[in-house]
Amino acid sequence: MRGPIPNFLAITAFLQSLTSAHMVLTYPGSRGNNLHLNGTPPAFNPETVGIDYYENGTLGFPWGMQWMHPCGGMSLTHNRTLWPVSGGAISVQPGWFPGHKKALFYINLGISEPGEFSPPPHYMNNLVQAFQIIGPSNVVYMAQFCLPEVKIPPELGLKKGDNVTIQVIETAQHGASLYTCVDVTLADPEEVVPVTPQNCYNTSNLEFRNVYTAPIPHDHVQGYS
């Protein structure tokens, strides 16, 4: 599992080799590098659904691994990081893919069964209300945001030593979703990698919006009655 990445210097080299990528979860860590982009380009394989299955058992990702639900193609890991038992910081670099000037973000929690090495059965525990970011450009851009105090709902009844998975979803402006996760073990705050201005900060080139819903008159919706 990746540890926290304090700034863009640690990942700048990737930008030189990637023509298309997605988002990076920088704190508290991530399952690993799922920025892979391989397989048959969709222009040459119009039947692809985003995953190419080869006869030798390997997979190709013509649109990138992060399109795969629930964790961007990365499997559960034994090498967990620690996260505060009541909740903590989550930091994301969102601009690694063209077309992400506007995006919606969701942060969810999956809970593993006690004593079992198995992925969570679902990720339906919302940790924050959905929000929108507005970046500086519709091409790849460098930016980061951090939510310093993401609380775990007390009604979940989690305790120190429980294994959970944080799922971050970025929904791009064309509607497709990107997924990335980090597997954590809940711990006392003093056991966790400290949150600092170097690993938890908001760059000035991002704007944030709350997401609301409002009723739409029926005559504004084209459909069948």
Residue 81 belongs to domain with CATH number: 2.60.40.10
Rounded CA separation 41/45 (Å): 6
The answer to whether residue 171 is domain-embedded is yes
Is there a domain that residue 89 lies in? yes
Type of residue numbered 113: E
| pLDDT tens per residue, range 153-175 | 999 999 999 999 999 999 988 78
Asked if residue 185 has pLDDT above 90, the reply is: yes
Q: First CA to last CA across the chain, in angstroms? A: 51
- In the chain, % of residues over pLDDT 90: 51
Give the domain extent around 139.
8-33+65-210
Least confident of 26-35, 41-50, 77-86, 164-173: 41-50
Q: In the predicted model, what is the mean pLDDT of the chain? A: 83
How many domains is the chain partitioned into structurally?
A: 1
pLDDT tens-digit readout, 1-11: 444 444 433 33
Quote the Cα angle for 47-24-2, to 5°: 115
Evaluate if pTM is beyond 0.85: no
pLDDT tens digits, 111-147: 998 877 888 999 999 999 999 999 998 888 899 999 9
Whether 44 is in a domain gets the answer no
Q: Model confidence over 203-219: pLDDT tens digits?
A: 999 999 999 888 888 77
45: in domain: no
- Quick one: pLDDT at residue 4? 44
Q: Taking 80 as the threshold, does the pLDDT of residue 221 lie above it? A: no
Distances (CA, A) of 21 to 24, 64, 148, 210: 9, 7, 25, 25
Q: Specify the 3-state DSSP secondary structure of 205.
A: coil
- Is residue 77 domain-resident? yes
State the Cα–Cα distance between residues 149 and 76, nearest whole angstrom: 25
Q: Cα-flanking dihedrals φ and ψ of residue 16, to 5°?
A: -75, -20
For residues 171 and 43, the model is more confident at 171
Residue 72 maps to a domain? yes
Residue 221 lies in a domain: no
The answer to the question of residue 111 being in a domain is yes
Q: Is the pLDDT of residue 12 over 90?
A: no
